[in-house]
């Protein structure tokens, strides 16, 4: 039954207990107060970023967790990896996005640290992935921040129950199999059996009690998919948010081999309301899948807890279509069987250099020193044949080679450019998408057909790594490393995180 025609059934003792817990818990009193304070600031055109930042995060622990999550790949299209303080986060992401993300982290802090807590953290992972997917699905650029907030807080009821009544939350999880579809709707029904209200209705009721904006409360209502796109923009965002939540469940609990069938079904049911095709849904899943590891780590979820997402090669999500990228498995998504034993990459050296560069970023010469040192560290740490830095001389022009460590490129340099705006080659398209990628066998025909003529003169490397550099949704450069000794780069999760750190440090120095 839809929320618009909510049931008049009496609420259960469990829901009364939830309300009592929320009324007594001091952290949630702080949340209600901070939200109202921020709403007041947002209504004042003279509010300064620092004032809003102070209202959102009033303790160092929460601020640190907030920045860690913002700098995960979850927000890389909004500058993630380069945000070093809360005022900067507010300026880049928007007031509402930071405020509501801080609220969700307050909820997360209530979960126990045992195995039961780790399981329940998946609910928070699903909510954050939904926000990330909503950004991918939103066709209206001016509403990107709002659609992220909408998708995130459509999970408020589930997150509140997980934080304050974990036994009830776990019972509902056991009642509904993780591979059932649509998972969210089935959980809603299971929650209604226990609380007299579904998860969505619980979120709406608590949102109203806390005095949150009516627009946010209305966006949290759930119902049957409309047969046609709503005329109101905010109502359209509501349904994009629910579609993103459906896809978040698919991403966490289903193998990529199942995506095509599920996305086809979703396009038939939800696509009428949101105008999304099955292909668009698959591509949104594929792009967000690249970021799942970073978001899970920020929430304290061990990757071993997630069974399906990293075990199949489904990167582009559009294979079989004209011009699709080759199926190149990104470094962060390699299955555990392929990950190397410690020591195959010089992680200690990468870690040490990353620490040195953190200090070097404070120096006035950082823009000249840090990018070159970061490139050299990657070259040495991976045992590469060469490391190459590409940058654009100015906006909207192809990237050109500005620095090479290792084997020289001689006259090849000017011939090999990367053009994220217009180029159709592999490097241009990876940079346009901001996709960190490891190609293990560059000699495969399906890889060779996507390589630009200028690159063909480099000397046929057998494997290479591509690390795009993006800022505010715009590609600004690329780091490339290769080897041609018949061996492949074997990069585990920790090594890839260090490579990203060095890449981000180089980017921060160049933007300073």
Residue 507's CATH number: 3.30.450.40
Read off the pLDDT of residues 445-485 as tens digits, 9 standing for 90 and up: 888 888 888 787 766 788 899 999 988 778 899 999 998 77
Residue 329 within a domain: no
How far, in Å, are 97, 122, 247 from residue 300 at the CA level?
21, 10, 22
Task: Report CA torsion sign: 57, 61, 62, 68.
Answer: positive
The confidence score (pLDDT) of residue 277 equals 92
Same domain, yes or no, for 403 and 461?
Answer: yes
Residues 183, 60 share a domain: no
Alpha-carbon span 138 to 147, nearest angstrom: 7
pTM for this entry: 0.55
* Domain shared by 298 and 440, yes or no: no
SS in 3 state form for 138-194?
CCCHHHHHHHHHHHHHCCHHHHHHHHHCHHHHHHHHHHCCCCCCCHHHHHHHHHHHH
- The answer to whether residues 181 and 311 belong to one domain is yes
Is residue 327 in a domain? no
Q: Would residue 201 count as lying in a domain?
A: yes
311 shares its domain with 347? no
Residues 19 and 41 in one domain: no
Q: How many domains does the chain have?
A: 3
pLDDT of the residue at 62: 54
Dihedral sign, CA of 397, 402, 408, 411?
A: positive
Contact call for residues 121 and 72 (beta carbons, < 8 A): no
Q: Do both 381 and 505 map to the same domain?
A: yes
Tell me, yes or no, whether 331 lies in a domain.
Answer: no
pLDDT computed for residue 2 by the predictor:
40
With respect to residue 234, please indicate whether it lies within any of the assigned structural domains: yes
CATH number at residue 253: 1.10.3210
pLDDT at 458: 67
Question: Does a structural domain hold residue 330?
Answer: no
Radius of gyration of the chain (CA): 23
Per-residue model confidence as pLDDT tens digits over 131-164: 889 988 988 777 777 888 788 889 989 888 888 8
Residue 419 covered by a domain: yes
Domain closes at, from 109, 125, 153 = 109
In the numeric block, which tokens belong to residue 280? 């668009």
Q: Do 174 and 195 belong to one domain?
A: yes
Q: Same domain, yes or no, for 129 and 229?
A: yes
Give pLDDT, residue 52. Answer: 53
Query: Each residue of 202-260: pLDDT tens digit?
Result: 999 888 887 777 888 888 998 889 988 888 888 888 999 999 999 999 988 887 778 88
Residue 9 is classified by DSSP as P
Q: Is 365 helix (H, G, I), strand (E, B) or coil?
A: coil
Q: What is the pLDDT of residue 334?
A: 36
User: Based on the domain organization, do 291 and 363 belong to the same domain?
Assistant: no
Structure tokens at 9: 């059934």
Domain that holds residue 221: 3-24+113-319
**What per-residue confidence (pLDDT) applies to 4?**
43
The confidence score (pLDDT) of residue 303 equals 61
20 phi/psi in degrees, rounded to 5? -65, -40
| Domain assignment of residue 219, yes or no | yes
Alpha-carbon separation of residue 154 from 219, 259, 280 (angstroms): 7, 23, 22
Residues sharing a CB contact under 8 Å with residue 173, sequence separation 6 or more, in sequence order? 119, 187
Whether residue 285 sits in one domain with residue 175:
yes
Q: Return the pLDDT at 11.
A: 62
Low-confidence ranges of the chain (pLDDT < 50): 1-9, 26-39, 41-43, 45-46, 59, 73-74, 80, 308-343
225-264 core/surface letters (b: 16 or more CB in 10 A; e: else): eeeeeeeeeebbbbbbbbbbbbbbbbbbbbebeebbebbe
Q: For residue 475, count other CB atoms closer than 10 A to its CB.
A: 22
Same-domain pairing of 79 and 98? yes
Residue that finishes a domain, picked among 62, 82, 109 = 109
Which of 91, 109, 127 is where one domain is finished? 109
Please count the residues of the chain: 512
pLDDT at position 260: 86
């Amino acid at each position: 039954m839809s929320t618009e025609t909510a049931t008049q059934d009496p609420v259960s003792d469990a829901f009364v207990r939830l309300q009592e817990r929320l009324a007594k818990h001091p952290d949630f009193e702080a949340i209600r107060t901070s939200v109202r304070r921020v709403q007041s600031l947002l209504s004042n055109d003279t509010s300064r970023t620092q004032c809003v930042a102070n209202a959102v995060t009033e303790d160092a622990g929460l601020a640190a967790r907030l920045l860690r999550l913002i700098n995960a790949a979850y927000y890389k299209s909004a500058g993630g990896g380069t945000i070093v303080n809360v005022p900067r986060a507010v300026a880049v992401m928007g007031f509402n996005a930071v405020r509501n993300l801080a609220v969700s982290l307050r909820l997360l802090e209530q979960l126990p640290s045992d195995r039961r807590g780790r399981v329940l953290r998946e609910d928070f992972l699903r909510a954050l992935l939904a926000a990330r997917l909503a950004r991918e699905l939103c066709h209206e650029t001016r509403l990107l921040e709002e659609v992220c907030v909408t998708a995130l807080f459509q999970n408020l009821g589930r997150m509140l129950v997980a934080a304050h009544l974990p036994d009830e939350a776990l019972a509902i999880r056991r009642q509904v199999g993780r591979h059932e579809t649509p998972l969210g709707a089935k959980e809603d029904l299971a929650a209604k059996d226990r609380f007299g209200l579904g998860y969505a209705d619980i979120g709406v009721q608590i949102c109203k009690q806390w005095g949150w904006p009516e627009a946010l409360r209305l966006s949290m209502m759930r119902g049957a998919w409309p047969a046609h796109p709503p005329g109101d923009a905010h109502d359209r965002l509501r349904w994009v948010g629910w579609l993103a939540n459906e896809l978040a469940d698919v991403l966490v609990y289903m193998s990529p081999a199942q995506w095509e069938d599920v996305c086809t079904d979703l396009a038939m049911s939800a696509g009428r309301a949101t105008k999304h095709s099955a292909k668009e849904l698959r591509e949104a899943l594929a792009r967000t899948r690249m970021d799942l590891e970073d978001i899970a780590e920020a929430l304290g979820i061990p990757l071993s807890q997630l069974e399906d997402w990293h075990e199949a090669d489904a990167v582009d999500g559009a294979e079989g279509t004209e011009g699709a990228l080759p199926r190149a498995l990104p470094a962060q998504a390699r299955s555990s069987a392929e990950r190397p034993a410690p020591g195959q990459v010089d992680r200690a050296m990468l870690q040490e250099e990353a620490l040195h560069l953190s200090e070097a970023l404070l120096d006035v010469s950082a823009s000249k020193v840090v990018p070159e040192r970061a490139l050299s560290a990657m070259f040495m740490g991976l045992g590469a044949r060469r490391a190459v830095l590409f940058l654009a001389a100015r906006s909207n022009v192809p990237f050109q080679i500005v620095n090479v460590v290792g084997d020289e490129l001689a006259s090849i340099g000017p011939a090999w450019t990367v053009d994220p705006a217009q180029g159709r080659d592999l490097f241009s398209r990876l940079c346009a998408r901001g996709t960190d990628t490891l190609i293990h066998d560059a000699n495969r025909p399906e890889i060779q057909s996507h390589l630009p003529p200028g690159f063909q003169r480099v000397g046929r490397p057998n494997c290479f790594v591509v690390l795009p550099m993006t800022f505010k949704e715009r590609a600004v450069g690329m780091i490339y490393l290769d080897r041609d000794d018949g061996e492949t780069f074997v990069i585990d999760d920790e090594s890839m995180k260090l490579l990203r750190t060095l890449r981000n440090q180089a980017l921060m120095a160049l933007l300073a």
